[in-house]
């Protein structure tokens, strides 16, 4: 790997910070995702949850309280040798309602402290401007990203961040997993649907707004500091045809294109022909205003970051498709692959394939900004976990990632494993789905001391980083 390869870990504000009203923070959509059976309906915008109620638990309210523990946590990241820490800003700490003219100084000061702490250990922050979060006031007043006014508020947020953190942060990601808007519109874009609304029209229009906002962010980032590197982010994972039947191969192409559509715009600066045709077929009529296409064209991203957990399978057979069980991403089970305890299929070679496909397509530097294994950990009485299964998963993935770089020539900037410290799961809201190198004593029922303890994988990853990926 390159000498300056950025090894590290990734988190998102709403899944780790907690303290959801501290320091003047406003409520956000992500705070209101309940644990349990209603979570999916809320995430997808089909059940309104605009205030906490007594029948549900809301894990993001306290999460792992990184808001209070950040110094200890960053010190532990430094101990592992992190070169980079991918984290996100909670929008509603900076603009509690989202549409204020001026920012909340307490929120700004908080992240300044976090960045200082990173710099103290020569850790480069990689900041996701929005990792699914949208202030609730913007949801209630404007309908989230369905409303074009969001561009103004997002621009204000970006200007504030790029200016205030100019000396601390040079790597930015505009939207986490931008294609997630298709699968979880409330979680990803603060959108709730009313009975009878045209969901596709609203979702693609909102995506257009996000794409414009992303281009505005690129423009501003460069104006404020030409050294800024700004990327997009895709929930990736190659779609394999379920068989070599041409119809299945075509189903795979179509499945991938649903996601690439967004990255194609961010990387090439224009909607791809297949995307325009697809929207036409689906009856989606994008409202494109004067100047929009130029904005997209002139402000493309510097790098492409992506999450990779698993590959997917696509089939043209309606009987097979009927068996798909609803996870966030629908996919058929691949009979050649094992699965995690949550049914996510484990496919290390799929990472090499995905890296190659993305590099062939975009020819821009790539960044693996999420990868990891969600598993149940059983700590001993000291809180220590022997997580060999996690080490095996990561070793196999890093090995394939190295092949993509060394043998295939992919230009890769860095690797940040997901949930480097245990945190709340986005899809399930559980604490027991753990990804971390660091065990956090926090349980699904809200109990726990919040004590942090390195797992076996902590010491393993330390060696990986120290040897620049040579010792796996």
Instruction: Tell me how far apart the alpha carbons of residues 248 and 240 are, in angstroms, rounded to a whole number.
Output: 9
Q: Which is nearer to ligand BGP, 56 or 433 (CB)?
A: 433
- Least gap, CB of 235 to ligand BGP (angstroms): 5
The label of the residue with tokens 């700590």 reads 379
CA nearest neighbour of 229 among 129, 301, 168, 295: 301
Give the binding site for ligand BGP (CB under 6 A): 12, 15, 176-177, 235, 307, 370, 374, 418, 425-428, 433
- Is residue 177 flagged as an active site residue? yes
- Give the H/E segment covering residue 149: none
Q: Which is nearer to ligand BGP, 125 or 436 (CB)?
A: 436
Residues 401 and 352 sit within 8 Å (Cβ to Cβ): yes
Residue 421: count other Cβ atoms within 10 Å of its Cβ.
24
- Least gap, CB of 149 to ligand BGP (angstroms): 26
Annotated catalytic residue within 17, 117, 124, 177: 177
Instruction: Tell me how far apart the alpha carbons of residues 83 and 74 are, in angstroms, rounded to a whole number.
Output: 11
Q: Which is nearer to ligand BGP, 271 or 418 (CB)?
A: 418
For helices 246-268 and 348-362, give the axis angle rounded to 10 degrees. 60
Q: Which is nearer to ligand BGP, 130 or 334 (CB)?
A: 130
- Give the H/E segment covering residue 87: strand 84-88
Residues 341 and 374 sit within 8 Å (Cβ to Cβ): yes
Instruction: Tell me how far apart the alpha carbons of residues 46 and 289 are, in angstroms, rounded to a whole number.
Output: 29
The label of the residue with tokens 């970006």 reads 158
Distances (CA, A) of 241 to 164, 253, 339, 445: 47, 8, 18, 41
- Least gap, CB of 415 to ligand BGP (angstroms): 15
Q: Which is nearer to ligand BGP, 104 or 427 (CB)?
A: 427
Annotated catalytic residue within 17, 370, 400, 430: 370
CA nearest neighbour of 264 among 364, 351, 186: 364
- Least gap, CB of 180 to ligand BGP (angstroms): 7
Q: Which is nearer to ligand BGP, 238 or 307 (CB)?
A: 307
Backbone angles phi, psi at 240, to 5 degrees: -95, 145
- Least gap, CB of 468 to ligand BGP (angstroms): 26
Dihedral sign from CA coordinates of 123, 124, 130, 136:
positive
- Least gap, CB of 304 to ligand BGP (angstroms): 15
**Residues with active-site annotation:** 177, 370
């Amino acid at each position: 790997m390159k000498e300056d390869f950025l090894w590290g870990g990734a988190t998102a504000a709403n899944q780790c910070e907690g303290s959801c009203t501290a320091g003047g923070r406003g409520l956000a959509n992500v705070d209101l995702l309940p644990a349990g059976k209603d979570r999916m309906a809320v995430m997808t915008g089909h059940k309104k949850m605009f205030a906490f109620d007594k029948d549900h638990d809301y894990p993001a309210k306290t999460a792992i309280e990184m808001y209070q523990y950040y110094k200890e946590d960053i010190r532990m990241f430094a101990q592992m040798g992190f070169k980079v820490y991918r984290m996100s800003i909670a929008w509603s700490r900076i603009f509690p309602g989202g549409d204020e003219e001026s920012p909340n100084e307490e929120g700004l000061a908080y992240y300044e402290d976090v960045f200082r702490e990173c710099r103290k250990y020569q850790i480069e922050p990689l900041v996701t401007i929005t990792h699914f979060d949208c202030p609730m006031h913007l949801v209630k007043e404007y309908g989230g990203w369905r409303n074009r006014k969001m561009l103004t508020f997002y621009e204000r947020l970006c200007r504030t961040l790029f200016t205030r953190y100019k000396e601390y942060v040079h790597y930015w990601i505009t939207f986490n997993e931008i294609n997630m808007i298709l699968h979880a519109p409330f979680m990803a874009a603060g959108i709730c649907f009313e009975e009878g609304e045209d969901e596709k029209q609203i979702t693609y229009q909102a995506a257009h707004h996000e794409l414009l906002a992303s281009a505005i962010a690129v423009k501003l980032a460069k104006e404020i500091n030409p050294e800024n590197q700004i990327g997009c982010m895709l929930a990736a994972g190659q779609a394999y045809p379920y068989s070599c039947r041409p119809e299945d191969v075509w189903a795979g192409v179509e499945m991938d294109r649903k996601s690439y559509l967004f990255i194609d715009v961010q990387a090439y600066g224009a909607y791809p022909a297949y995307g325009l045709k697809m929207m036409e077929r689906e009856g989606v009529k994008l409202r494109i205003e004067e100047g929009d296409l130029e904005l997209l064209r002139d402000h493309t991203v510097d790098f492409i970051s992506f999450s990779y957990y698993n590959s997917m399978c696509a089939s043209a057979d309606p009987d097979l498709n009927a068996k798909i069980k609803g996870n966030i991403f629908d996919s058929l089970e691949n009979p050649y692959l094992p699965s995690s305890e949550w049914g996510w299929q484990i496919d290390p070679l799929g990472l090499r394939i995905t890296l190659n496909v993305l590099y062939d397509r975009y020819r821009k530097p790539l960044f693996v900004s999420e990868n990891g294994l969600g598993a149940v950990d059983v700590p001993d009485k000291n809180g220590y976990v022997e997580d060999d299964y996690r080490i095996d998963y990561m070793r196999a993935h890093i090995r394939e990632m190295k092949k993509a770089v060394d043998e295939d020539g992919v230009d890769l900037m860095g690797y940040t494993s997901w949930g480097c410290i245990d945190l709340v799961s986005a899809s399930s809201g559980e604490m027991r789905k753990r990804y971390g190198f660091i065990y956090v004593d926090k349980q699904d029922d809200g109990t726990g001391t919040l004590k942090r303890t390195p797992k076996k994988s902590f010491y393993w990853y330390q060696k990986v980083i120290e040897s620049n990926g040579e010792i796996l």
